[in-house]
């Protein structure tokens, strides 16, 4: 794996491209807001021309019953909009208000027309935002598969659950759709207040449409910022799931090139474990408009990596032989290697699952000497490091075969030694002997289970 600087630069370039995509989607949102505002302005002007007297729409005129023709026209418009709206609970609740079976005032009808335009806008925004976030999730799974060099499990059901996931806000949990509809209700309230005030003061539409525009501009900005936060949340959830599948236990924060102090401070505190990620603390987004990312952590020091590389090479045989039979005769170099290898193993991901180990002996006496103390129910441990594999590398040529049924603390070093798919246990890791038998190839076989210490299994 390349250096941390390489990954940081790579993720920063990705953040730039992603921000361009979100910016394009935000521009589309702005256009939808402007279109809705234009439609609202047309509704207001039509009503003003129809009911105003002497250039003013008085409250008395506004409170008169709306003409049947206007109500029918509105009902047809609402029916057309309903076909394109989303089916969220909030949308369904609002649609019931547009089923006009009672007589309404001109002002009520005008407010309903405003609200209908806003609900239609919200339905479009929800639909477009969902498509955007769905694509972000799919693209990120594919990108992470390339980074991690392996296939990742994801389907449409999983992607939908990530996009629609709720997250903590204040004392409760909300979804993106909740937030958009909340903003919609706030927008309706503000516009309604401006409309009431304008009619009471006898203002011309040109005088208060400009106030509407200010409200719309602020609202579209809020939704655009929310879309950035949601994009970051979905990308982050995909990355954490990818790291879990790829057995990447630690990550670093990749901040944008123009990142604020909050993001840089979080990055300086890494690396972090993926199963302990908390959004806003050690996982982005750290604030609105945050588009940080994460990258696999290079957590081993140069000496720790060197010790691991030496062990993976042929030096493991010499070192393990010394640890087993001559621990008091280790050279200073070997002692240093053990110290740094222990530190490196602490930083590697744990492997959970079944493992195998094959033994080869020069003579039958060596085999008997090694296995003579094996008894079912007894504890087996090795003063040396115990190398195991996810695959059966002995190919039935071994003289003794171990099956470890429940690895919990073995350290996965397979990405450093792919040919052997190696998982390495620390020195003196205890195992209980469950069964001793000859397998179907006639090879002596021992089934073991790892004895888990509470501190090790955290």
Domains of the chain, CATH where assigned: 4-296 (no CATH), 348-450 (3.90.176.10)
Q: Which position has the token pair 């402007």?
A: 34
pLDDT by residue for the chain (458 residues), tens only, comes to 446 777 888 888 999 999 899 888 888 888 887 887 787 777 767 666 555 555 555 545 544 545 555 555 666 666 666 566 555 555 555 555 555 444 555 566 677 777 777 777 777 788 888 898 999 999 999 998 888 877 888 888 888 888 887 665 455 555 666 676 677 777 777 777 777 776 666 666 666 777 778 877 777 787 888 888 889 999 999 999 999 888 788 888 998 888 899 999 888 887 788 888 988 889 998 988 898 999 888 667 789 989 999 999 889 999 999 999 999 999 999 999 999 999 888 877 778 889 999 998 888 888 888 888 899 999 999 999 999 999 988 888 999 999 999 998 898 888 787 677 899 999 999 999 999 999 999 999 999 999 987 544 44
pLDDT at 212: 77
SS3 of the chain: helix, strand, coil, percent, to 5? 55, 15, 30
Q: Are 284 and 232 in contact (CB under 8 A)?
A: yes
CA dist., res. 183 & res. 222, Å (int) = 8
pLDDT at 31: 83
User: How do 379-380 and 350-359 pair as beta strands?
Assistant: unpaired
User: How do 167-169 and 172-174 pair as beta strands?
Assistant: antiparallel
Q: Which of 360, 357, 351 is nearest to 411 (CA)?
A: 351
CA dist., res. 21 & res. 11, Å (int) = 15
Q: At 194, phi and psi to the nearest 5?
A: -65, -40
pLDDT at 35: 81
Token pair recorded at residue 96: 């019931």
How long is the chain? 458
Q: Which of 304, 318, 253 is nearest to 413 (CA)?
A: 304
CB atoms within 10 A of CB 157: 7
pLDDT at 84: 61
Token pair recorded at residue 294: 């994460």
Q: Which position has the token pair 């090879």?
A: 443
pLDDT at 6: 78
pLDDT at 59: 47
- Please report the beta strands in 238-343, taking only residues with DSSP state E, as ranges in sequence order: 250-254, 272-273, 293-296
pLDDT at 454: 52
Q: Which position has the token pair 């009619």?
A: 199
CA dist., res. 424 & res. 370, Å (int) = 20
Q: Are 10 and 299 in contact (CB under 8 A)?
A: no
Residue 406 burial by Cβ neighbours in a 10 Å radius (0-12, 13-18, 19+): middle
CA dist., res. 98 & res. 110, Å (int) = 12
């Amino acid at each position: 794996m390349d250096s941390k600087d390489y990954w940081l630069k790579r993720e920063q370039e990705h953040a730039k491209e992603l921000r361009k995509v979100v910016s394009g989607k935000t521009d589309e949102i702005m256009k939808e807001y402007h279109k809705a505002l234009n439609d609202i302005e047309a509704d207001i002007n039509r009503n003003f021309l129809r009911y105003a007297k002497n250039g003013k729409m008085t409250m008395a005129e506004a409170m008169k019953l709306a003409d049947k023709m206007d109500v029918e026209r509105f009902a047809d418009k609402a029916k057309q909009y309903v076909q394109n709206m989303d089916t969220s609970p909030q949308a369904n609740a609002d649609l019931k208000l547009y089923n006009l079976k009672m007589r309404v005032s001109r002002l009520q009808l005008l407010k309903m027309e405003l609200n209908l335009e806003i609900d239609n806008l919200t339905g479009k925004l929800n639909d477009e935002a969902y498509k955007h976030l769905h694509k972000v999730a799919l693209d990120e799974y594919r990108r992470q598969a390339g980074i991690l060099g392996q296939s990742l499990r994801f389907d449409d059901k999983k992607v939908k659950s990530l996009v629609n996931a709720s997250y903590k806000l204040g004392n409760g949990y909300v979804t993106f759709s909740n937030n958009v509809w909340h903003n919609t209700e706030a927008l309706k309230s503000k516009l309604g207040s401006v409309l009431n005030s304008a009619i009471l003061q006898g203002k011309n539409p040109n005088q208060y449409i400009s106030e509407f525009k200010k409200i719309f501009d602020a609202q579209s900005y809020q939704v655009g910022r929310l879309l950035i936060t949601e994009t970051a949340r979905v990308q982050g959830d995909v990355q954490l799931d990818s790291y879990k599948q790829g057995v990447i236990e630690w990550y670093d924060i990749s901040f944008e090139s123009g990142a604020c102090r909050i993001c840089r401070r979080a990055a300086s505190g890494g690396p972090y474990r993926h199963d302990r990620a908390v959004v806003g603390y050690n996982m982005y987004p750290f604030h609105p408009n945050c588009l940080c990312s994460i990258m696999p952590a290079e957590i081993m020091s140069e000496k720790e990596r060197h010790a691991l590389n030496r062990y993976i090479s042929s030096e493991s045989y010499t070192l393990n032989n010394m640890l087993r039979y001559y621990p008091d005769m280790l050279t200073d170099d070997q002692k240093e290697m053990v110290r740094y290898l222990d530190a490196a193993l602490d930083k590697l991901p744990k492997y959970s699952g079944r493992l195998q180990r094959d033994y080869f002996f020069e003579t039958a006496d060596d085999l008997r000497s090694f296995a003579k103390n094996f008894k079912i129910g007894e504890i087996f441990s090795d003063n040396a490091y115990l190398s195991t594999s996810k695959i059966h590398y002995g190919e039935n040529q071994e003289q003794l075969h171990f099956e470890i049924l429940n690895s919990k603390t073995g350290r996965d070093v397979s990405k450093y030694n792919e040919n052997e798919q190696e998982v390495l246990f620390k020195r003196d890791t205890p195992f209980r002997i469950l069964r001793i038998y000859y397998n179907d190839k006639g090879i002596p076989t021992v089934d073991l289970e790892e004895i888990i210490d509470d501190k090790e299994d955290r």
